Structure 1
Amino acid sequence: MKIIIAVLLLLGHLAAAEVQYYGTGGSLVLGPKFSGAITSITWKHKGNIVAEWIDGSVDLEYLGDLKGRLDLNLKTGVLTVKNMMKADQGVFSVEINNKVLPDTFEATWIRILNDSEVVVIPSLTCSSQSQSCSLRCGEEIKDAGPIQYFWKKGENGKWEEGERTIEIENTDETGRFKTFSCKAENPVSEKESKPEENPFNKTDPVNWGTVFGIVIGLIIAAVAVGVTIYMRKNKMFCFRPPVQNQTPKDQTGNGESETLNQKTQEV
C-alpha cells in the first residue's frame, strides 16, 4: 500500500512538472517557490543527486554528469545549469530543509530556429489576378517546441500574431502594401524572413519612360556645360570689335588745304 501511495505521489509530481525549454549551449535557471532561511538543500536530476549542501555539516558539492556546469545559490535555492546539451533532458526536483517541495521542472530540449526555415511562400496558384492567395511562413518545423508566428505588412508595418498560413484578399487595402514578411519564435530563438513581394501590390509603378527622358536631359545639359568650359579655357571663342566709319585723314587734310588756297587767291 505504501509503495502504491509513493508511486501516485511521484506521478502527481511529474504531472505537475513545469516544462523548461532550452537549446544546445543554453542555460537553465530553476527557481523553487520557497521563502525563509535555508539550512539544507538537495537538487536531483532524473532521481540522482546533482547538488547538495547542509549548513554546518556538508559543504556544497556538485555531482554526476552536470558537475562543472552547475551553480547553486544557497540563499534562494536557485539552481543554474550552464552549457546545456540534448542529453540533459529530464526532471529536476528539490528538497529544502529536509522537505521535498512540490516544485519539479522538466527540462526539454528544442532546436534553435534557422534562417532558411523562415521564408514567405506564396501558393502556387497565386497571381495578381487571383481573388485571394495563401501565404505560408516556411514549412513545418520539427523538434522546435511551441512556435508562434507573426506577420507584417510592408517594411514599416507592425508585427501581428497569426497562424503559419494566412489568407490575403485581392482588395485595395491589401494592394497598398508592397511586401509581406513573417517571423517565427520559439522559447529559445526567433527568426525573421526577408520581405516577399505582395502579389496584389497596386502602388504606382515606376514610369521608366519619364525617368529615361530626365536622365538623357541631364546628360545633354552636362555635356553642353562641359564643352563650353573647355572652349573657354582653350580660347576657342573669337570676339571682334564693331567697325566704325571714319573719314580718312589725308582726305580731310586735302579738303582743308584747298579751302585755304581759295581764301588766299581772293585776297
Structure 2
Amino acid sequence: MRRSSSLHQAALWCVLLCLAVRITRAQSQDLYRRVGDDVVLRPDLSSVREPVITSISWKHGDDLAIEWDRDGGVVEPYRQFRGQATLNITTAELKISGLTGNFSGKYEVEVNGKPIASSSTVLKVIFPVSKPTVSWRCDEGLTSCLLSCDGDVTAQDQVIWRRDVHKETHLPKQLNITRERDANYKEFRCVLVNQVSEESSEPVVNPLSKAPGEKPGEGQKWMTGLTVFISLLAILVVVALVHRSRAGFWFYDTEFMPWEGGFWRRSETAGEDHAANGRALSNAEAAESNGTNAAREQRHEAHRSILPNNGQQQQNNVMIIQASYASVTA
C-alpha cells in the first residue's frame, strides 16, 4: 500500500510539473518597440512535426493579419498590414515595418494548421520619452526646496533623480531636498526612462548651495551683466575699426550718424583737409619763429646803441629796452 501510494504521488507530481511547463510555455511574451521602428516575430518551430511547411497564418488579436499556403502560393496581408508586413515562408517569421500604435496587441501563429502556443507575443508599440526639465520652489528661508521633473510623463515612464553622480530610482516626479541633507551636492538632474528610450534633463545647480537668504540664481546675475557689457563693448570696438577702415577717419570726425550713408562713405577730401591743417600748423610755427627772431634783433640793436652814450643816456636806453622787451614777451 505504501509503495502504491508513493507511486501515485510521484505520478501526480509529474503531471503537475508537465502542466506547469505547458502553462509557462503558453504564456505570452511582452515585446516593446518604439513608434517608427521595425519588428520581427520569430516563432519556435521545434513543435512542428511535419518536415515541410505547407501553410502559415498570423493572427493579430482575433483578426487574421497575414497568411500563406502552398496551394495558393500567395502571401496575403490584411488591413494595416498591407504594405508594411512581410512573411518568410521558410521560417514563418513575420516582419512589420514602420510601427504605429495600431500594431500593438497579441500575435499568434499557426503552422500547418496547428497553433504554436510558445510563440504567442504581446507587442506594445509606445512613444519614446520626452526630454524633461527641472523646476524648483523653495521656502523663504531657503532651508528646503521641492524639485519637479517636468515633461510628458506617462504611467509607463520611470523617474530617476541624480544628485551629482549618485542615482536614485523609482522616485515620484517631485523630490524634496533640505539644506541639512543636500547642501553639499552641486547639481541635480532627472531622467525619464521607459522600455524603449531614456532622456535626461540639463543639470540644475543646487539652489541650496547658496548662502542662506540668497535667492537661487542671484549669485550669477553679476556674471551675466558683465558678460553682456563685454559683448557690447567688443561690438562697439569692431564697428569703430570697420568704420575707420572703410571711411578713412574715426567716427567722431564726421557729422553723419551711423544710420546715414555718409557715415560709412570714404571722404575724398579727408586727405586734403589733413594736408591743409598741416600747412596751417607749419605757417603758424614759422610766424612764431620769425617773431622771435625779430625781437632778438631789436634787443641786440638797443644794446649796440648804449655803448657810445653817457650815463643818463644809457639809463634812458635801458628803460626803453626793458619796455620793448616787456611788450615783445607779452
Runs of 4+ residues over 6 Å off in structure 1: 35-38, 226-229
CA contact (8 A) 2:34 2:126 kept: yes
- Alpha-carbon distance, 1:18 to partner: 1.2
Q: How many residues align?
A: 227
Q: Distance in 1 between matches of 2:168 and 2:42?
A: 30
Q: Which residue number corresponds to residue 18 of structure 1?
A: 29
Aligned mate of 2:123, from 107, 120, 124: 107
Residues 183, 42 of structure 1: CA spacing in aligned structure 2 closer, same or farther, 3 A cutoff?
same
The answer as to 2:144 corresponding to 1:135 is: no
Aligned to 2:266: none
Name the structure 1 match of 2:71. 57
Pair 127,60 (structure 1): closer, same or farther in 2 beyond 3 Å: farther
TM-superposed deviation, 1:104: 1.2
Question: Is the CA contact (8 Å cut-off) linking 2:43 and 2:93 kept in structure 1?
Answer: yes
Residue from 177, 194, 202 that aligns with 2:210: 202
**Residues in 2 aligned to 1:208 and 1:138: alpha-carbon distance in whole angstroms:** 28
How does the TM-score come out when normalised to structure 1?
Answer: 0.56
Change (3 A) 1:13 1:44: farther
Distance 1:71 1:228 in 2: 73
**Rg larger in 1 or in 2?**
2
Q: Distance in 2 between matches of 1:113 and 1:14?
A: 32
Distance in 1, Cα, partners of 2:76 & 2:24: 24
Instruction: State how far apart, in whole Å, the 2-side matches of 1:43 and 1:129 are.
Output: 61
Contact 1:20 1:28 in 2 (8 A): no
**C-alpha displacement at 1:106, in angstroms?**
0.8
- The CA RMSD over aligned residues, in Å, is 5.2
Structure with more helix by fraction? 2
Matched residue, 1:168: 177
Does the Cα contact within 8 Å between 2:148 and 2:175 map onto a contact in 1? yes
Moved more, 63-72 or 233-242: 233-242
Structure 2 counterparts to residues 60-139 of structure 1, below 5 A: 60-68=74-82, 69-96=84-111, 100-110=116-126, 113=129, 118-122=132-136, 124=137, 126=139, 129-130=142-143, 132-138=144-150
**CA distance, structure 2, for counterparts of residue 92 and residue 248 of structure 1:** 125
How much has 1:172 moved relative to structure 2?
A: 4.4
% identity of equivalent residues? 21
Deviation for aligned residue 1:102: 0.6
Per-residue deviation, residues 83-136 of structure 1 (Å, max 9, x unmatched): 445444321122346662512111235455456xx44243x5545621x43323
The separation in 2 between residues aligned to 1:139 and 1:249, in whole angstroms, is 98
Residue 185 of structure 1, aligned match among 169, 182, 193: 193
Give the gaps of 5 or more residues in structure 1: 1-7, 259-267
* Separation of aligned partners in 2, 1:105 and 1:16: 9
Q: Show structure 2 runs of 5+ residues with no match.
A: 1-18, 212-217, 241-248, 255-272, 309-330
| Superimposed CA distance per residue, residues 57-79 of structure 1 (whole angstroms, 9 cap, x where no aligned partner) | 34242243244131223454331
